[in-house]
């Protein structure tokens, strides 16, 4: 799926991936890929600025940690991030229901005879 | 230099902002690239091919740097506007205290009882007030555009550094006006001024003036770096 198609939804997906617990950048990307059965295959380098944006907005909190000699920056949801995720889910349900209703094939009209 | 380090150097060279910020970004990308390389190695690729595959997965260095450029500009704008919003009232209060201690407060009122106050002094104070109002508005806009409200405000990325630059130049402008007025009063009636409050206010403005100007210039530079 192209990156353009994900515009506007990336924040919600990143928050959802972090709902289960803290993850570092590459683990987040892997979770996005695995969770979408490989459909969301964004350039990994573009996910990091999005994570920084969420951090600036107070939706995630980042911290450096060291694991087997490698320093990693991990992200976890803040309370504001959990509330934003709830909002994203609700908005997406309404949006997808409306799009599904419109895209469903309309049964041919039966002409009275 | 390894393939990964060459890639990181290319990204780093395209990033604006302070060295510490750029180093943090590069360090984070490095750990991600090494994780990706490990994953490809586990999948059976030799080291060099695994590194190339990881780089391919991360994407074009220019694309990665572009994403961070917006973020660096926003963070810089936030830091500047928050600092100005915090320092502004303090500097303002120091000048107000200095004016009152020098018995200039009542005299500067629009219909004040002291006809001996120079119209230049009064006009200068009003000019400073207008500049401070513009600075405060720009600082608040910058704070709103770069914090939690940014998710709901349809503000373009270039607006935040612009607002921060306006706020910075505004603060510097207000300091120049106040220091010029002080110099004018010192020239005609030095005995009228309360030395300690005036010295404190002048010191605050002298300290803020170069910092605000430099911060504003940096925000303009980060704005220019946005495509």
Query: For B25-36, what is each residue's pLDDT tens digit?
Result: 999 999 999 999
Which residues of B are less than 8 Å from A74 in CB distance? none
How distant is the Cα of B151 from the closest Cα of chain A, in angstroms? 8
Chain A residue with CA closest to B21: the answer is A52
- Sign of the CA dihedral running B194, B195, B200, B203: positive
Average pLDDT, chain A: 87
Please report the pLDDT score of residue B9 as a whole number.
Answer: 95
CA nearest neighbour of A81 among A6, A8, A11: A11
Across the interface, whether the CB atoms of A46 and B147 are under 8 A apart is answered no
Which of B28, B60, B70 has its CB closest to that of A25? B28
State how far the alpha carbon of B61 is from the alpha carbons of B9, B55, B151, B186, in Å.
9, 9, 27, 57
Percent of chain A scoring above 90 in pLDDT: 51
Confidence class for position A86, pLDDT limits 50, 70, 90:
very high
B36-54 pLDDT, tens digit each:
999 999 999 999 999 999 9
- The predicted model scores a pTM of 0.79
CA distance B217 to A99: 47
A14/chain B closest Cα distance in angstroms: 15
Q: Looking at residues B92-108, what average pLDDT do you find?
A: 78
- Half-sphere exposure of residue B189: CA atoms within 13 angstroms, side-chain side: 12
Q: What is the pLDDT of residue A3?
A: 56
| Portions of chain B given CATH number 1.20.120 | 73-224
Confidence of residue A62 (pLDDT cuts 50, 70, 90): very high
Residues of B in contact with A24 (CB under 8 A): 31-32, 35
Q: What is the pLDDT of residue A73?
A: 94
pLDDT, averaged across chain B: 87
More confident residue, B121 or A113: B121
For residue A46, give the nearest of B27, B59, B148 by CB distance: B59
- Asked whether residue B113 carries a pLDDT value surpassing 50, the answer given is no
Strand extents, DSSP E, A6-109 = 23-24, 60-67, 70-77
* Partner-chain contact B31 A48, CB within 8 Å: no
Of B70, B147, B151, the CB nearest to A49: B70
Q: From the centroid of its chain, how far is CA A42? A: 12
> What span, in angstroms and rounded, lies between the C-alpha atoms of A36 and A13?
10
Query: Hey, are the CB atoms on A48 and B148 less than 8 Å from each other?
Result: no
User: Mapped to the 3 state alphabet, what secondary structure does A12-42 carry?
Assistant: HHHHHHCCCCCEEHHHHHHHHHHHCCCCCCC
Q: How many CB atoms are closer than 10 A to CB B196?
A: 11
Residues of A in contact with B60 (CB under 8 A): 43, 45
Q: pLDDT, tens digit, for every residue of B173-198? A: 999 999 998 888 888 777 778 889 99
Give the model's pLDDT for residue B107: 52
Answer whether B38 touches A (CB < 8 Å): no
Q: Does domain B73-224 have CATH number 3.30.70?
A: no
Q: Which of B41, B151, B153, B154 to substitute to test the interface with A, most A CBs within 10 Å? A: B151
B148-173 pLDDT, tens digit per residue, is 777 777 778 788 999 999 999 999 99
Q: Which of A78, A62, A6 is nearest to A35 (CA)?
A: A6
- Whole-complex ipTM: 0.83
Contact B35 A44 (CB under 8 A): no
CB count within 10 Å of CB A71 equals 13
Average pLDDT over residues B195-207: 94
Class of residue A26 by CB neighbours under 10 A (exposed 0-12, middle 13-18, buried 19+): buried
Please, which residues bridge with residue A75 across strands?
A23, A62
For the sheet containing A60-67, what is the strand order? Answer: A23-24, A70-77, A60-67
Q: How many CB pairs under 8 A join A and B?
A: 84
Closest Cα of chain A to B32: distance in Å? 5
In this prediction, residue A1 carries a pLDDT of: 55
Name the residue facing B63 among A46, A56, A70 (closest C-beta).
Answer: A46
What is the CB neighbour count within 10 angstroms for residue A21? 9
Query: Is residue A77 within 8 Å of A59, Cβ to Cβ?
Result: yes
- CA gap B67, A3 in Å, rounded: 13
> B29 contacts in A (CB within 8 Å)?
45, 48
Q: What is the mean pLDDT of residues B55-76?
A: 90
Of B27, B36, B64, the CB nearest to A71: B27
Architecture of A3-85 per CATH?
Orthogonal Bundle (1.10)
């Amino acid at each position: 799926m192209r990156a353009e198609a994900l515009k506007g939804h990336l924040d919600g997906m990143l928050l959802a991936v972090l709902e289960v617990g803290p993850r570092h950048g590459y683990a987040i990307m892997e979770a996005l890929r695995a969770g979408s059965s490989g459909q969301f295959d964004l350039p990994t380098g573009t996910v990091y600025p999005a994570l920084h944006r969420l951090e600036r907005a107070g939706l995630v909190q980042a911290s450096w940690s060291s694991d087997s000699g490698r320093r990693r920056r991990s992200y976890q949801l803040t309370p504001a991030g959990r509330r934003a995720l709830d909002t994203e889910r609700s908005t997406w349900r309404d949006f997808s229901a409306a799009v599904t209703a419109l895209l469903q094939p309309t049964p041919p009209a039966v002409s009275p005879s | 230099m390894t393939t990964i380090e060459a890639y990181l150097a290319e990204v780093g060279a395209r990033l604006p902002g302070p060295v510490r910020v750029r180093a943090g970004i590069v360090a984070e990308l490095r750990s991600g690239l090494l994780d990706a390389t490990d994953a490809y190695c586990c999948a059976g690729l030799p080291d060099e091919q695994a590194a190339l595959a990881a780089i391919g997965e991360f994407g074009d260095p220019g694309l990665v740097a572009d994403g961070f450029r917006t973020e660096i500009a926003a963070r810089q704008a936030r830091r500047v506007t928050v600092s100005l919003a915090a320092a502004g009232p303090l500097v303002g209060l120091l000048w107000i205290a200095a004016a009152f201690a020098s018995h200039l407060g009542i005299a500067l009122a629009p219909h004040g009882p002291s006809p001996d106050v120079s119209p230049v002094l009064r006009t200068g104070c009003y000019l400073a007030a207008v500049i401070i109002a513009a600075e405060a508005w720009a600082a608040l806009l910058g704070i709103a555009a770069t914090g939690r409200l940014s998710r709901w405000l349809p503000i373009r990325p270039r607006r935040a550094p612009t607002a921060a630059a306006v706020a910075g130049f505004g603060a510097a402008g207000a300091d120049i006006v106040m220091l010029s007025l002080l110099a004018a009063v010192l020239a005609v009636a030095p005995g009228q001024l309360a030395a300690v409050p005036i010295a404190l206010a002048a010191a605050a403005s002298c300290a803020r003036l170069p910092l605000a100007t430099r911060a504003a210039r940096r925000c303009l530079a980060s704005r220019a770096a946005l495509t």
